[in-house]
């Protein structure tokens, strides 16, 4: 049986009248690279903060390594590496001082690995945090999150501030290395192509609710994109059974289906339409189709 590092059951969280998370249930298997996607305000950061025990659930439950993070913070946090979205690091410290300070919290801090990361990220450890560019800050944040070789790596928008080379090569390599060593990565991202490239599981949040959650290959296999031609021009997108979105104009439309291909094909033959192309949509296309643009 698959061992889960995180189990979330009917998790709900509100801030006053704002329901940030609603009835969210899913698990993160050990060793997976789990991508959390969703539009601005979908609830991604709120969910990660529950994993860290920084927020208490309004309803439902969450367990991390079989423990409740709010009740047992020391046991849980010691095994987690966290990169926060706002990279909140003490501005008055130098990088080497910050590394030294952080290493004191983690018995598993790997000094050799930390040095390798400094070189890989092209950092000058004598620089003060306040003088760093956004990208350098992101690199330092990443270094601090991974240098103690955590069992669970939580990255909130890790690509934000990173240039395309670091994003594509270094970040992806780090994420894969962590997973190949049997450790687990849960990360949020707006960059769907990146999520598709590095994840093996994906969860999609929308307005605080879980829209879908599965292995990436299952999500891709469940959806299909059809480019169709209708015999006549139509003014607005036809409402096709089995489709989750339909975009285009005139008589040529691009339709994303969610597993209901028979219904869609029946409709197409009843309306004398023809298929021009059929393909597997990208995660980005599925996201736009499901979230509605």
Spell out the SS3 assignment of 5-43: EEEEEEEEEEECCEEEEEEEEEEEECCCEEEEEECCCCC
Q: Which residue among 32, 45, 184, 196 contacts ligand ATP (CB under 6 A)?
A: 45
The single residue among 3, 25, 41, 241 that binds ligand ATP, judged by CB under 6 A, is: 41
Give me the least distance between CB of 262 and ligand ATP, in Å please: 35
Of 27 and 160, the one with the shorter C-beta distance to ligand ATP is 160
Q: 46 or 224: whose CB is closer to ligand ATP?
A: 46
**Nearest distance, CB of residue 13 and ligand ATP, angstroms:** 8
Closer Cβ to ligand ATP, 22 or 258, answer by number: 22
> With binding defined as CB under 6 A, does residue 86 bind ligand ATP?
no
**Measured in whole angstroms, how far is the alpha carbon of residue 250 from the centre of its chain?**
36
Interface with ligand ATP (CB under 6 A), residue from 40, 133, 236, 269:
40
Least Å distance between CB 117 and ligand ATP?
Answer: 25
CA distance 155 to 55: 17
225 binds ligand ATP (CB under 6 A): no
By the rule CB under 6 A, 56 interacts with ligand ATP: no
Task: Count CB neighbours of 193 within 10 A.
Answer: 12
Residue nearer to ligand ATP on the CB measure, 88 or 239: 88
For tokens 């709120």, the residue is 46
Is 46 near ligand ATP (CB under 6 A)? yes
Which lies closer to ligand ATP via its Cβ, residue 85 or residue 200? Answer: 85
Residues in the interface with ligand ATP (CB under 6 A) total 12
Residues in the chain: 293
CB 32 within 8 A of CB 201: yes
**Span of 35-43, 74-82, 138-146, 209-217 interacting with ligand ATP by CB under 6 A:** 35-43
Q: Binding to ligand ATP by residue 242, rule CB under 6 A?
A: no
Q: Is 53 in the site for ligand ATP (CB under 6 A)?
A: no
- Span between the terminal Cα atoms of the chain, in Å: 38
Whichever of 13 and 223 has its CB closer to ligand ATP, that residue is: 13
* Single residue of 11, 34, 38, 64 touching ligand ATP by CB under 6 A: 38
CA distances to 70, 178, 198 from 3, rounded to whole Å, are 21, 17, 21
**CB of 42 or CB of 80, closer to ligand ATP:** 42
Closest CA to 65 of 142, 4, 106, 156: 4
Q: Select from 3-11, 39-47, 65-73, 127-135 the region that touches ligand ATP (CB under 6 A).
A: 39-47
Contact of 136 with 167, CB cutoff 8 Å? no
Is 5 within 8 Å of 15 (Cβ atoms)? no
The position carrying tokens 């691009």 is 254
* Rg of the chain over all Cα atoms, to the nearest angstrom: 22
- β-bridge mates for residue 35, sequence order: 187, 202
Which residues of this protein are in contact with ligand ATP, per CB under 6 A?
A: 15, 18, 20, 38, 40-46, 85
């Amino acid at each position: 049986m698959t061992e889960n590092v995180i189990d979330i059951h009917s998790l709900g969280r509100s801030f006053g009248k704002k329901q940030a998370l609603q009835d969210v249930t899913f698990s993160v298997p050990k060793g997976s690279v789990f991508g959390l996607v969703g539009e601005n305000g979908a609830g991604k950061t709120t969910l990660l903060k529950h994993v860290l025990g920084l927020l208490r659930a309004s309803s439902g439950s969450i367990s991390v390594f079989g423990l409740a993070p709010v009740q047992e913070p020391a046991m849980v946090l010691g095994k987690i590496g966290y990169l926060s979205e706002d990279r909140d690091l003490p501005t008055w410290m130098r990088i080497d001082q910050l590394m030294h300070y952080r290493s004191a919290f983690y018995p598993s801090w790997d000094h050799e690995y930390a040095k390798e990361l400094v070189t890989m990220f092209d950092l000058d450890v004598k620089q003060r945090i306040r003088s760093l560019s956004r990208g350098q800050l992101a690199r330092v944040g990443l270094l601090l999150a991974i240098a103690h070789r955590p069992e669970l790596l939580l990255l909130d928008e890790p690509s934000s501030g990173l240039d395309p080379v670091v994003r594509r090569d270094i970040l992806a390599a780090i994420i894969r290395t962590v997973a190949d060593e049997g450790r687990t990565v849960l990360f949020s991202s707006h960059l769907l192509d990146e999520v598709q490239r590095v994840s093996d599981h994906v969860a999609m949040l929308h307005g605080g609710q879980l829209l879908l959650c599965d292995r990436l290959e299952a999500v891709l296999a469940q959806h299909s994109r059809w480019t169709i031609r209708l015999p006549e021009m139509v003014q607005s997108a036809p409402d096709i059974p089995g489709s989750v979105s339909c975009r285009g104009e005139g008589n040529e439309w691009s339709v994303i289906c969610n597993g209901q291909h028979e219904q869609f094909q029946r409709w197409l033959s009843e309306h004398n339409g023809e298929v021009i192309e059929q393909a597997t949509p990208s995660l980005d296309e599925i996201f736009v189709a499901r979230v509605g643009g």
